[in-house]
């Protein structure tokens, strides 16, 4: 609760924007890991185990908008332009591809997914109505995994074959705990 007694907005979109800016300022490629369900608009053929990793650098996207409710952009997958819409509640990590530094977030609760999808349409106003649940009291932090520091060869990499795109099976990036 804030000092005025109203529910405060989630910190997640602010942290996503801050880490995106940090990656960009340092010449890193910001990637987001997204938990996929019916409220997420991504190319389903690239989803693995209910998750997709997306390159959200300015070089890999166009019309990138890191809003309080949605991450929206256009990107090419397999040479085909796609509109991507991800509820901020479904971003489970943001990190620099080159060194794995970043932040993980709790996975969305099913009620948060349904509430957010029912209450908002992508591109609507950025005001927060308090209906979004950051996490349930009993949920725990996501475990962080180590990131290999090797560069993938040109045959791996993104959906369009570019090494900076979302990885193919077997080349999935991992997170590194930074203390």
Nearest-angstrom CA–CA distance, 104 and 98: 16
Q: Residue 157: helix, strand or coil by DSSP?
A: coil
113 assigned to some structural domain: yes
User: Across the chain, what does the average pLDDT equal?
Assistant: 74
CA-nearest of 94, 85, 73, 116 to 12 is 94
- Count of structural domains, the chain: 1
The CA-to-CA distance between both ends of the chain, in Å, stands at 29
CA-nearest of 96, 89, 103 to 173 is 96
- Helix H or strand E encompassing 104: strand 102-104
163 assigned to some structural domain: no
144 assigned to some structural domain: no
Residues 72 and 122 sit within 8 Å (Cβ to Cβ): yes
Domain range holding 68?
Answer: 12-119
154 assigned to some structural domain: no
Q: What is the pLDDT of residue 4?
A: 59
92 assigned to some structural domain: yes
* CATH number where 21 lies: 2.30.30.220
Helices (H), 65-175: 110-119
162 assigned to some structural domain: no
Q: What is the pLDDT of residue 167?
A: 47
Q: Determine if the pTM surpasses 0.85.
A: no
Residues 142 and 104 sit within 8 Å (Cβ to Cβ): yes
77 assigned to some structural domain: yes
Q: What is the pLDDT of residue 144?
A: 47
CA–chain centroid gap for 122, Å, is 15
| pLDDT beneath 50: ranges in the chain | 1-2, 112-169
- Helix H or strand E encompassing 19: helix 12-25
DSSP state string for 29-82: -EEEEEE-STT-BS-GGG-BTTEEEEE-STTT-EEEEE-SSEEEEEEEETTEEE
């Amino acid at each position: 609760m804030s000092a005025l007694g109203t529910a405060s907005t989630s910190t997640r979109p602010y942290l996503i924007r801050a880490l995106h800016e940090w990656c960009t300022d340092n010449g890193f490629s910001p990637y987001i890991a997204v938990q996929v369900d019916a409220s997420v608009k991504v190319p389903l053929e690239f989803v693995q185990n209910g998750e997709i990793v997306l390159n959200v650098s300015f070089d890999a996207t166009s019309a990138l908008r890191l809003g309080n409710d949605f991450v929206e952009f256009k990107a090419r997958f397999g040479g085909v332009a796609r509109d991507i819409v991800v509820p901020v509640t479904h971003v489970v990590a943001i990190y620099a591809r080159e060194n794995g530094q970043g932040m993980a977030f709790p996975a969305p609760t099913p009620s948060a997914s349904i509430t957010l999808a029912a209450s908002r349409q992508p591109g609507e106003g950025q005001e927060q109505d308090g209906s979004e649940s950051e996490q349930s009291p009993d949920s725990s932090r996501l475990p962080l995994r180590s990131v290999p520091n090797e560069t993938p060869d040109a045959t791996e990499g993104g959906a369009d074959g570019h090494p900076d795109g979302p990885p193919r099976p077997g080349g999935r990036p991992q997170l590194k705990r930074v203390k």
